[in-house]
Amino acid sequence: MKCSFKNDYSEGCHGKILDVLTSTNLESQDGYGEDEYTQKAKKLIQKKMNNFESDIYFVSGGTQANLIVVSSALRPYESVISAESGHINIHEAGSIEAVGHKINTIQSSDGKIKVEDIKAVLYEHNEAPHVVKPKMVYISNSTELGTIYKKDELTKLSKFCKENELYLFMDGARLGSALCSKDNDLTLKDLAKLLDIFYIGGTKNGALLGEAIVINNDELKKDFTYNLKQKGALMSKGRVLGIQFATLFEDNLFFELANHANSMAQKIAKSIQKYGFTFLCKPQTNQIFPILPNILIDKLEKQFDFYVWKKVDEDNSAIRIVTSWATKESAADEIIDFIMDKYQ
């Protein structure tokens, strides 16, 4: 079987999570997120954020989190601003539009949004009531291109959004990887202050399933569970999500797993860089996008699983290599050795 660098959800979950699921399995717990483990997980995350005012809810996946956050926050005529490459814009089968909202897109080469981009969108939407009213800014961290937001960048976005009555929402499906990037200077405590709402991804960082939605802005807190229930996201056995997040945040497991994923990707990136190859975007997290000769890519495809992301010119393309909490160092070495072998 081929060694896979296709994504970060090919394996099950970290062993500790299975252990706790097993040891607590026959306990009788209340349903719908009223169980002890969900309560415990909430407190552990609040503690990491040093903020006990934020509301926290657990849902089963990222698309679900995104559509609930957007539909619960916006009025029918309000829209959400996103990079064109944003997951909500291209990879969620129209889920945001299905709950009634337009996405205003921004061209971005690195998957990130800047204040000037938002300003341009607002400027184009000054003809009320003929146009939608932008009311939320969606960013992902790490982005769909593996890049991350620095603290000063996020601070500027946050300030601008507050001044312009825009909600700032971070899709953190790969937040662990972002916060563990060697380039990162943000903490969960910062996120509790700079964002109106965000979520912490479990599915791609060692859980079987689960994302933790964190609501910092009071305006967005009211009646939130109604939205969960209505969209089919309120699991009757909420313990399944609670136990996983309690395990990930009880010690430092969440960050250890992300660190491992990042270090595997960085090891591969460094090796590739040695041969003079460049990257579509700076390799900062567990997703890297090296630009390689098509001839080399053809050979790689016989041995490894990954996505060819984008044609760069006649002879070269960018590929996406994704590592995860479960990537073995031997697998990283295997692709490194293979490239060294074939390229030289």
Q: How far is the CB of 205 from a copy of itself (least distance, A)?
A: 12
- For a copy of itself, which is the closer residue by CB, 203 or 285? 203
User: Least separation, in Å, of the C-beta of 343 and a copy of itself?
Assistant: 26
Measured from the CB atom, the residue of 134 and 290 that comes closer to a copy of itself is 134
Quick one: 159 or 229, whose CB is closer to a copy of itself? Answer: 229
> Is 60 or 271 the residue whose CB approaches a copy of itself more closely?
60
Shortest CB 181 distance to a copy of itself, Å: 22
Instruction: Kindly report the number of other CB atoms within 10 A of residue 141's CB atom.
Output: 27
Chain-centroid distance of CA 55 in Å reads 19
Burial (CB < 10 A; 0-12, 13-18, 19+), residue 190, is: middle
- Residue identified by tokens 């229930």 is 229
Residue 163 CB, shortest distance to a copy of itself, in Å, is 19
**Which CB atom, from 157 or from 210, has the smaller least distance to a copy of itself?**
210
Nearest approach in angstroms of CB 184 to a copy of itself is: 24
Instruction: Give the alpha-carbon dihedral of 159, 42, 326, 197, to 10 degrees.
Output: -20
Closest CB 40 distance from a copy of itself, rounded Å:
16
Three-class SS of residue 167?
strand
String of b and e for 237-266 (b: at least 16 CB within 10 Å)?
A: ebbbbbbbbbbbbeeebbbebbbbbbbbbb
Q: What value does the CA radius of gyration of the chain take, rounded to a whole number of Å? A: 20
CA distance 213 to 249: 14
For residues 253 and 260, give the distance between their C-alpha atoms in angstroms, rounded to a whole number.
11
Is the Cβ of residue 101 or residue 260 nearer to a copy of itself in the bound state?
Answer: 101
CB of residue 319 to a copy of itself, shortest distance in Å: 16
Based on the number of CB atoms within 10 Å of its own CB, is 16 exposed (0-12), middle (13-18) or buried (19 or more)?
A: middle
92 vs 194 by CB, closer to a copy of itself: 92
* Least distance (Å) between residue 57 CB and a copy of itself: 11
Cβ neighbourhood burial of 290 (10 Å; 0-12, 13-18, 19+): buried
Report, in Å, the least distance between residue 128 CB and a copy of itself. 7
Burial code (b: 16+ CB inside 10 Å, e: under 16) for 45-56 equals bbebbebeebbb
In terms of Cα–Cα distance, which of 67, 88, 145, 81 is closest to 113? 81
For a copy of itself, give the closer residue by CB, 148 or 228: 228
Residue 49 or 111 with smaller CB distance to a copy of itself:
111
